[in-house]
Chain A
Amino acid sequence: MTVVTTASRTAARVQDAVKVYGSGDTAVRALDGVSVGFPAGRFTAIMGPSGSGKSTLMHCAAGLDTLTSGAAYIGDTDLGALDDRRLTLLRRDRIGFVFQAFNLVPTLTVAENITLPLDLAGSRGDAEWIDALVDVVGLRDRLHHRPAELSGGQQQRVAVARAFAGRPDVVFADEPTGNLDSRSGEEVLGLLGRAVRQMERTVVMVTHDPVAAAHADEVVFLADGRLVDRMESPTADKVLDRLKAFEVPS
């Protein structure tokens, strides 16, 4: 069973992660001792109400931000031990990103945006793989267009293709459907799911939308900077119920 063997490895994890913004009276503990691993070959969603620290968790796990204390790992690499240059190279080679908005460089064509991380690394990449990706995201006839000529959904699909172009260890997606209508959002989520199940990729997605979270294999719940729950094989209703449960005590 391939799922089981790959699941035994974690693509990314954080250990006792603490992130404090500001200092003194205005200090905010965005992460308050979180330990969580994201298994390879799985689609994990991070959920929680606003201010729960879910975005901070993703940023720190992805090497975009540094932890106040604790450790973050991509595979076996301790991110805290890397300087800015090596962290950049690690992001380029081993991590893919899909942001909520402004995912594409407006001056580059669709094709160039997809291969941007590879081009920055000066590598040619795997032409067959990229070719296959283009078909999966369904943008073959748009390759030479500029981002401004695409719809929001198409733009996000390009971002997904870019995120997977270099076969990264893990793809982090930050509210990838936040700015999309439900049909386009469904398409993008479908793409992420297919990448995990058919292409054996790893995806970690931050979202506040139970419907989006339902596409994941597993959901981890955060509240007030702490990990409060995990849920295997989520559905939108189960997730919604779980979220409602948080709101009662607060």
Chain B
Amino acid sequence: MNASVRLSVSSLRAHQRRFAGTFLAVFLGVAFLAGTLVMGDTLRASFDSMFGSATSGTDAVVRSAGAITTPGESQGVRRPVDADLSETVAQVPGVAAAEPSIEGAGQLLGANGDPIGGQGPPTVAGNWISDPELNPYELAEGRAPERSGEVVVNRGTAELGGLKIGDTTTLRTPDPVEVRIVGLATFGGADGMAQVTFTGMTRADAEKYLTARPGEAASILVRAGPGVGERELVERLTPVLPKGVEAITGQESAQENTDMISSQFLSIFTTFLLVFSGVALLVATFSIHNTFAIVVAQRTRENALLRALGASRRQVTASTLVEAGAVAVTASAAGLAGGIGIAAGLQALFPAIGFPFPEGDLVISGLSMLLPLAVGIVVCLGSALLPAVRAGRTAPLAALRETAVDSSGASRARAVTGAALAALALALTLTGVLVSPSVWLAGGGAVLALVSFVVLGPVASSTAVRFLGGPLDRLRGVTGGLARRNALRSPKRTAATASALMIGVAVVSLFTVFGASLKATMDQTVSRSFAGDVAISTPSLGGGGSGLSPALAEAIGRLPEVDTAVGLGSGVAEVAGQGRALTVTDPVALGRTFDLGQVRGSLDALGTDGIAITENEADQQGLATGDKVRLAFTDGATETFTVRAVYGQSELAGDYVITRAAWAPHRIQDSDRLVAVTFRDGVGADAGKAAVERAAARYGNPDVQTRDEYAQSSAGGIDMMLTLVYALLALAVLIALLGIANTLTLAIHERTRELGLLRAVGQTRPQLRAMVRWESVLVAAFGTAGGLGLGAFLGWVLVTASDGASDSAFAFAVPPLQLAVVALVGLAAGALAGLRPARRAARLDVLRAIATE
């Protein structure tokens, strides 16, 4: 065995405990990364197989060729086809069966009267396709719907809503329809397609409730006869199809569906997790670097002896690196196993939280194993590189000196470099945010700001710890004073330890500030634009829910308490070749319940050929009142509209407004996304709300919200998101804490004699423990304070940059309460990290400590 390797092995064996922290940091980071990749692959594969088996009976899909896609939506709206086309298709030789598929939004109410799902994944209703091979859903229990009002629902939805065969409930389409469940269905062997809810009705019901005009279908599913391939089937179908209608193979259709899920859900899910494992690994880098730096410093005499005995620099450096490599490889390998364990655990957990997950083996690809392994090893070796080089530079004479603990303060060069970096970062960000808005400049500045914080850490740590620890002397007497001075002993080490926590806290605060700003923005938007008394809205998150019945606004408008009730429906059309969302409403009432800012022209008489546009869009398209604009609808029709009004604020009303009468000929499934209500003068808020609630009860019982509640519910998704982010960041914070604990343990090892002396002259064990804990808290406080400052700054950058990049105004808000909680958690975490080192220090044998040479 090579001498360097032999040295590393013996050193590792002797100091296993020292590397426990490093091992754990790498292990956690790699496990998280590997778990994410395996989970992503497994989900993708299981969706593939689910769709594959669900749609295996469909050999071709006939649908209209073009789709209108509005910004921010990936799927697009496709024009319906004539349902009777299925009969024409059925006549084509080689076709065994053809059935129209009618699809729309339909949300079931559960046994307790609350809507099922709708918080993200779509809530789908459609016709129950009678041909079992064409139907992607499979009847598991009961029977198919035969009479009007009978439905089949997927089993997952039924379980979620506490519904069973024979139950009667309401389906919001969005008009409430009384339905009776006669069967339960499965999708590709699972209880549903992820968390999508599905309700299958008779074809007549589907046409009646889900389409604007009976006789329309979303697509026609075709099954080939024996001996006819998919490609061949498509070729035979194409000639009989009308213009604008296309046929694609069943395989292509399934692929489109899985791609859609991949891009909409899986990619976001995995990217999100990967970002957080990146943060965790970045934090780990600091902890690992620190451990090796301390170990090398403690081993100065040993390394110097080796050098004196003739070991070359390279041999000493190599032995440290080999040590790091050994830790890296074992920890990464263990991390891979841990990652697979995490994925397996999640696979077991998913069904328990109501997320249907088809049984199947975990998909463990080469990439999802090699990448985390490589990342783990690179992170660990990279972090140990500088300390290893420093070990090699040990002068042979150092063997004769006292063990040198690096207590040097920050160098002037560091202070100058750090200050220059910070100034550059500030200049870049401010330019990118305020002068010429650019995300790249702002982003680059933000990264530089982070780097400058890390570089300046040792410069700032002395002052910061002295300041933060100031009250300790008074509060905790000599124990606190000693803790403070111990934290000051090695500014570099304190800074490196705190940096890990700083990054974690900075990301937490960034999200906290950004979330609070988003909420404030929503709040501001509602209070600025919404002039009504109460609002009825559908969930703001994702494509779920079924919207509100268009009849709701009318019914509420007739109440004696109500002055105006206006429903906002959604439509799509292509304006100048680009898909755009339209707001379909009564423009006169809209003007009364929403503050549209300055209006040029008039909203009073849009009629069937008039349109109102926001100032922003008008500027972009070069339009002014009186101009003509062509709108292409999903039904293929193109009409010319006259711009009759240009209004200032778009936040709630949308960018384009047309009347219901203008939309009627082109409408899809009717639904409103928001109904805004103003009361008559003299009607009390409670009385008015109660009256509206009574009226709304007949329309599937949607939530009636006051202005404040409406603003809060608009921000509800943000809280959910933040909770998830916090949960994921817990890992990074945990790694940072391991780093603090590890550094302290090593420091205690260094201070054995001093601790022994303190004990000898009368420091009690509780006092000694308190001293170590307070040191830990101080280091954590330094990291937390830096993280809060950096996070708040980055949050401000992000908010201001978003403000510059979008046309709606962004509010910047610093939530004092949440940030105080973050600070407290940081401090508490510090105390927690100090527990074990403190216990170990207190266990120290006084005599051995004084006798140590």
A interface residues with partner B (beta carbon < 8 Å): 59, 64-65, 84-85, 88-89, 91-93, 96-97, 99, 102-108, 112, 116-117, 119-122, 162
Contact = CB atoms under 8 A, between A and B. Distances in A.
Given A102-B757, A107-B489, 18 more contacts: A64-B760, A64-B850, A88-B762, A88-B763, A89-B762, A99-B760, A102-B850, A104-B757, A105-B482, A107-B482, A108-B481, A120-B758, A120-B761, A120-B762, A120-B763, A120-B764, A121-B762, A162-B761
A26 B701 CA distance: 86
B660 interface: no
A25 to B, nearest CB: 22
Given A107-B486, A108-B482, A119-B478, A93 B760 contact: no
A11 to B, nearest CB: 17
B765 A105 contact: no
A147 to B, nearest CB: 11
Nearest to A86: B764
Contacts of B767: 120
A145 to B, nearest CB: 15
- Residue among A59, A84, A120, A162 facing the most chain B CB atoms (10 A cut-off): A120
A91 B754 contact: no
A91 B760 contact: yes
B730 interface: no
23 contacts: A64-B760, A64-B850, A65-B847, A85-B764, A85-B765, A88-B763, A88-B764, A91-B762, A92-B762, A92-B763, A102-B850, A107-B482, A107-B486, A107-B488, A108-B481, A112-B481, A116-B478, A116-B758, A116-B761, A119-B477, A120-B761, A121-B762, A162-B761
Contacts of A91: 760-762
B753 interface: yes
A15 to B, nearest CB: 21
B485 interface: yes
A116 B761 CA distance: 8
A105 B759 CA distance: 11
B589 interface: no
Interface string B476-519: 01110110011011000000000000000000000000000000
A58 B513 CA distance: 62
B846 interface: yes
A65 B479 CA distance: 24
A92 to B, nearest CB: 2
Interface in B831-853: 846-847, 850
A89 B754 contact: no
Contacts of B765: 84-85, 88
A102 B753 contact: yes
Nearest to A84: B765
B754 A97 contact: no
A93 B762 contact: yes
Contacts of B760: 64, 91, 97, 99
Interface in B721-772: 753-754, 757-765, 767
Contact of A102 (B477, B481, B754): B754
Nearest to A163: B761
Interface in B756-796: 757-765, 767
B763 A107 contact: no
A97 B760 CA distance: 8
Contacts of A117: 761-762
Nearest to B755: A105
A120 B486 CA distance: 16
Main secondary structure of the interface of B (DSSP, over half): helix
Contacts of A97: 760-761
Contacts of B763: 88, 92, 120
Nearest to A165: B761
Contact of A99 (B478, B482, B850): B850
Question: Which of A97, A103, A105 has its CB near the most chain B CB atoms (within 10 A)?
Answer: A105
Contacts of A121: 762
Contacts of A122: 477
Contacts of A88: 759, 762-765
Nearest to B756: A102
A-B complex: 3 closest residue pairs judged by Cβ atoms: A92-B762, A107-B485, A119-B478
B51 to A, nearest CB: 67
A85 B759 CA distance: 11
A105 B753 CA distance: 10
A91 B850 CA distance: 15
Contacts of A120: 478-479, 758, 761-764, 767
A120 B846 CA distance: 17
Contacts of B481: 108, 112
A105 B754 contact: yes
Contacts of B764: 85, 88-89, 92, 120
B225 to A, nearest CB: 90
A27 B360 CA distance: 63
B761 A108 contact: no
Nearest to B846: A64
A107 B759 CA distance: 16
A108 B480 CA distance: 12
Contacts of B477: 119, 122
B161 to A, nearest CB: 62
B293 to A, nearest CB: 20
A201 to B, nearest CB: 16
B837 to A, nearest CB: 17
A131 B478 CA distance: 20
Nearest to B766: A85
A92 B478 CA distance: 14
Contact of B847 (A64, A103, A108): A64
Contacts of B847: 59, 64-65
Contact of A105 (B479, B757, B846): B757
A130 to B, nearest CB: 15
B747 to A, nearest CB: 12
B757 A99 contact: yes
Nearest to A65: B847
Interface in B447-485: 477-479, 481-482, 485
A167 to B, nearest CB: 14
Contacts of A108: 481-482, 485
Contacts of B482: 105, 107-108
Nearest to A162: B761
A163 to B, nearest CB: 8
Contacts of A99: 757, 760, 850
A161 to B, nearest CB: 12
Interface centre among B486, B762, B846 (most CB of A within 10 A): B762
Contacts of B850: 64, 99, 102
A159 B150 CA distance: 94
Contacts of A112: 478, 481
Contact of A106 (B754, B762, B846): B754
A234 to B, nearest CB: 27
A112 B488 CA distance: 17
B465 to A, nearest CB: 12
Nearest to A85: B764
Nearest to B853: A101
A89 B762 CA distance: 6
B109 to A, nearest CB: 66
A85 B765 CA distance: 7
Contacts of B479: 120
A102 B764 CA distance: 19
A112 B759 CA distance: 16
Given A65-B847, A116-B478, A122-B477, A103 B757 contact: yes
Nearest to B486: A107
Contacts of B762: 88-89, 91-93, 117, 120-121
Contacts of B486: 107
Contacts of B846: 64
Contacts of A104: 757
Contacts of B754: 102, 105-106
A247 B763 CA distance: 41
A31 to B, nearest CB: 14
A190 B312 CA distance: 50
Nearest to B488: A107
